[in-house]
A and B are shown apart, each in its own frame.
Chain A
Amino acid sequence: MSKPDVIIVGGGVISCAIAYYLAKAKVKVMVLEKEEIGDGGSSRNGGGVRQSARDPREIPIAMYAINNLWPTLSEELGVDIEYHKKGNLRLGKTEEHLRVLQHNVNLGLKAGLELKMVSSAEIHELNPYVSEEVIGASYCPTDGHANPMKTTLAFYKRARELGTQFITGETVKSVILKKGKVAGVKTKENTYEAPLVILAAGMDSRVIANSVGIDIPMQKILLEALITEAQPIMFPQMLGTAAADFYGHQTDHGSFVFGGSTSLENYVSDVEGRETKSITAPYICRAILGYFPCLSKVNIIRTWAGFIDESADHVPVLSKVDEVPGLVLTCGFSGHGFGISPAIGLLISELIIKDKPSLSLEAFKYDRFKPKG
């Protein structure tokens, strides 16, 4: 195979989406992945396709994805990615919770999002299984969820069919420069040449960018979730809470995917392995049963853990690098990259092909992080 036009480092949903939209535009792409396709945050993922409760900078991208890309994605990729646009309920149990929710609603409305507070009666209309303890919620009817594993692998399958060269088992160590411009990447054992390199490798993006003197303040945070046995279909909404103690949804399969944070995640983030902690699943179960007591007899059949690549201001870096012509960064998705992944794929492909994406990416520049002062 001749030299690719673009090398993408990392084989997750962001990378596969970019590869797909580039390949569709007849760009020759090579993807280098150190493990398997979608083995990081792409398959360790709650599957939310949300606009609500996002940073205002991200909302236009999320809205674009939901209005233009998600609804036809299954058809386009030839795989059912289980997308459902049935709303997001963020539940509250106390007056303090309602204040938090109202604040999010105000931010969302300002960004042009369809979002409102709903009463206990309205919640039970939408979801009769919610505990009586819940006194209010925010509701975004155009939010939803999809299957992150199938979405990732569907983008992979289609990009591969369109000629993208995927190589797994290749750990990229550094970016190669020639006369100050990107010339390719070096892996443990090989060298691959291309005039353009996209780093979409989660936390590894930081280390690889360091090889050419670029540093993005980001850290890895452990995220855990649990999966139940299949249940009859009960409700279609994506769920979250003002207390941020759990989130999740019921999948097409009938199983529930529930995630949650104990607030101790920051202190276990140095471990190499993605291991579930003994305290987390019990905590998530207590949180869920506090909102859905009817699920108490439902069996948990599996738990998992994965890493979030969290940037210092909790939104991603989507940017060319001025000092290193030919280098593009797409990292720091901070745990909410999946819902916007199709739009990121499209926008980055446009950034590369015509230097002018359909939505401005100015708010996501790599050099926006400054010391306090």
Chain B
Amino acid sequence: MNKITDRTFTGEEFVSHRDDSVIICRCEEISKGEIRRAVYDGMRTMSEVKRYVRAGMGLCQGQTCSRLVKNIIAKELGLKPGEVEIPTPRSPARPVSMEIYANDGMKK
């Protein structure tokens, strides 16, 4: 991973697409156009797109939209989807309340 990538800005204009308003990340209501715009702004990996526009950062942690987000980034960059760097899965696998977490490791 982490292939050498020159990210120099080429100066070309952002081109809108007709389907830019389609919602891709349902938890955070992030549209295809916002993800495409993030790539235009220089984001090159799923983590960067996530940190920039919150796609895949909501309640489901990208379990629903990851593949779509990855495909959009790949298409924008002219890559195969497998070449797009994926984000780190983070604990917990499902939402856990603070009071339950707080009990972990405590004596019964």
Contacts and interface: CB of A to CB of B under 8 A. Distances in A.
Interface in B24-73: 41-45, 47-48, 51-52, 54, 58-59, 61
A161 B92 contact: no
Chain B binding surface SS class: loop
Given A153-B48, A288-B98, A298-B98, A282 B105 contact: yes
A303 interface: yes
Nearest to A298: B98
A288 B98 CA distance: 9
A150 B95 CA distance: 24
Interface string A295-330: 111111111100000000000000000000000000
Contacts of A34: 2
B90 interface: yes
B52 A165 contact: no
B91 A303 contact: yes
Contacts of B88: 304
Contacts of A304: 88, 90
Contacts, number: 120
B97 interface: yes
A239 to B, nearest CB: 15
Contacts of B6: 165-167
Given A36-B44, A302-B90, A303-B90, A165 B2 contact: no
Interface stretch (A37-45, A119-127, A362-370): A37-45
B49 to A, nearest CB: 10
Interface of A: 1, 34-39, 43, 149-150, 152-153, 156-157, 160-161, 163, 165-170, 189-190, 228-229, 253, 276, 278-279, 281-282, 285-286, 288-289, 295-304
Interface of B: 2-9, 41-45, 47-48, 51-52, 54, 58-59, 61, 85, 88, 90-92, 95-99, 101-106
